[in-house]
Amino acid sequence: MAEKTKKFHVITWGCQMNVDDSDQIENLLLSDGLEKADSLEDADVVMLNTCSVRQKPEDKVFSQLGILAELKQARPDMVIGVTGCMAQRAGAEIARRAPHIDLIAGTAQLERIPELVRTRQSLLESGAAKQNAPSDVLIQLQLPRKKEESQLYLPERKRVTTGKLKSFVSIMYGCDKFCQFCIVPHTRGKERSRPASEIIGEVEYLAQHGTKEVCLLGQTVNSYGLKGLEATCSFSELLRRVDAVDGIERIRFTSPYPKDFTDDVIEAMASLPAVCEQVHLPVQVGDDVLLKRMNRGYTLDQYRTIVAKLRAAMPDIVITTDLMLGFPGETEEQVQNTLDFVEEIRFDQAFMFIYSPRHPTPAAKMPDQIPQPVKVERLERLIAIQNRIVVEKNNQYAAERRVYDVLVEGASPKHPGQWHGLTRGGKTVNFDAHRNLTGHTVKVRALEGHLWGFMGELV
């Protein structure tokens, strides 16, 4: 009797980089002969791709590991693995608290996952693995030792799964900025850029298999080419080369770092047809003293200058940001400065959150940590202001009956009978249509503004 094909299931928390890493894990396991499972219960291999930027996603991982402990008891041959930033930061702790898992792979060791899975399966089948102590867990956590070391796994990132309308493409890894609150340099390693030729080859491959929109990824994506391999170019030149790929209709990138946002990038955004008029530009806070204490490397005036240049070059550009309240020592006056800055810039959207201590970052050891109830109250005030601005702006655009080019992604998940897609600025639009327009770019007039986007009509 032929041996049953093993199946896998990947669970992902965190940023777009983690989503892209999960795609690569799936491709690696598919290339190794496994199949995708329809559900967690059907899987022979379960990989948890984790986030460590705040405490909440880490708590969710341990909660999921508790559920998997019951499945593992019922099915001892199941292989459970943990990867991602939390694995890199706290691999030993995970092994200690969840000795029923089988492997831990760091952020730069994804290419080892199929080998680790096979090794663990062999140990389980032979009865050599007892799974009752942290020492039984297979752990690979080595980060690249030099900036010149590129990501080793799938250098060409060949994709077994294709046909996605939108795809992420990682162009660099790691971060050298060392903001006082941020765990990323500790979990992702030093900045290192992929060769431009590999990136363009991947984009061409995706375009040939149905992708129309790519989002270029990096922890500080516009730092591309500043450090790392010699076979790179500037970020603006990379945008030009991706724009020239036949079949790619839209290009986005995230997240740029304000300190490295240069005029040539703005010029490329304004002049290249496929590059969308949208940018996510994290500011974190609206106070210069806090920015300096955070080691962000820019002032509010420098940030204002970038925003002014972007809006002068692209009047309809959509600008979104990250905002964080509750940094150690933050005063009520500094909170008000952030609220005032949000009123001044009028972001189109924002990811808003409270500071969460992350060891071993310097901020976690700072005195004057803000009590949790105070942080929550400050965040609620920020959310109320930013959400009001979003609705005001979207209502204004709807009142003007603006017409948008919308790339249709499919049936609306929240509005039955309607279709939905994104504008070039990344705003969601729902509208009626009498046929399936998935994958098509259509013109839609905004009729109603909402916090989430627009209700519109097909033009």
Which residue numbers belong to the known binding site for [4Fe-4S] cluster? Answer: 15, 51, 85, 175, 179, 182
Q: How far apart are CA 223 and CA 176, in angstroms?
A: 10
CB 14 within 8 A of CB 183: no
Is residue 186 helix, strand or coil? helix
Give the C-alpha separation, 374 to 342, whole Å: 20
The number of beta carbons lying within 10 Å of the beta carbon of residue 421 is: 27
Which tokens hold the place of 272? 């290249």
Q: Which residue has the tokens 């799936």?
A: 26
For 287, how many CA atoms within 13 A lie in the half-sphere containing its CB?
20
Residue 165, both tokens: 């309308």
Residue 360: CB atoms within 10 A of its CB come to: 9
Q: DSSP 3-state assignment of 447?
A: strand
Helices (H), 106-259: 113-126, 184-188, 196-208, 235-243
Picking from 410, 439, 339, 441, the residue whose alpha carbon sits closest to that of residue 380 is: 339
Where is the binding site, in residues? 15, 51, 85, 175, 179, 182
**What gap in Å lies between CA 278 and CA 201, rounded to an integer?**
25
Spatial neighbors of 350 by CB under 8 A, at least 6 apart, are 320, 321, 322, 323, 342, 386
**Which residues are CB-contacts of 237 (< 8 A; sequence separation ≥ 6)?**
196, 225
What DSSP letter does each residue of 89-136 carry, written as one string?
HHHHHHHHH-TT--EEE-TT-GGGHHHHHHHHHHHHHHT-----SGGG
| DSSP label of 155 | T
Residue 103: is it exposed, middle or buried by C-beta count within 10 angstroms (0-12/13-18/19+)?
buried
Cα separation values, 229 from 191, 197, 322, 370, Å: 10, 12, 30, 42
